[in-house]
Every structure is written in structure tokens, then in C-alpha cells.
Amino acid sequence: MNSKKRLVSENIECVDLSEIRFSRKNKVSVQRDATQIEQMRRQLERGRPSMRVVLRLRKEGFYTIEDGRHRILAAIEAGEQYVDAVVKAS
């Protein structure tokens, strides 16, 4: 894991979306917000950058979401492979 991590700036990393894990709580809460996710997906496809997400790097080598569930799902739906994120240590 983390083999393609790229530092975007001092505090921002480019993270592979396949390395991000959703908690059960995250999955349930975003199911109610499909319209918001769809709007974000369209913005990404039009080239509009989204706000950074905040991830936590777990000792197991994957990331969990601190902030940005909707933005991550929109990026996945838009066919993105990476997301720029602020990464916190666990």
C-alpha cells in the first residue's frame, strides 16, 4: 500500500482512492445524500477542484476518512483514481 503516494505540497498528499476505507457509519450517512454527491461529481467532471479531504493513516496501511465522505464518493463516481488529502497519523 501507499506505493503511489505523492506529496502535493507540504501538508497535502495525493492518495489512491483504493487505499481509503469507509466505516459502516460513513456508508449509512452518505446513502441519504445522493443528490449532493451527484452535484459534486458533475463539478469534478467539469474540472472544478474540490476542497481537500482529511484522512487518517492507520497502522495497517490504509486510510480512514476524517472529513470529506461526499467528496471521496463523488471522486470515485467521476472515475478519479486519486484524491488530494491532508493526512493525519493514527
What is the percent of the chain where pLDDT is above 90? 54
Burial letters for 18-56: b for 16+ Cβ neighbours within 10 Å, e otherwise?
A: ebbeeeeebeeebeeeeeebeebbeebeeeeebebbebe
CATH pick for 6-89 out of 3.65.10.10, 3.40.50.300, 3.90.1530.10, 3.40.50.1110: 3.90.1530.10
Task: Give how far the C-alpha of residue 13 lies from the chain's centroid of Cα atoms, to the nearest Å.
Answer: 11
**Residue 90's pLDDT band (cuts 50, 70, 90):** confident
pLDDT at 29 over 90: no
For the whole prediction, is pTM greater than 0.75? yes
Nine cell digits for residue 40: 459534486
> Which residue do the cell numbers 471521496 mark?
72
Q: Where are the domains of the chain?
A: 6-89
Which of 70, 77, 74, 61 lies closest to 15, judged by CA?
61
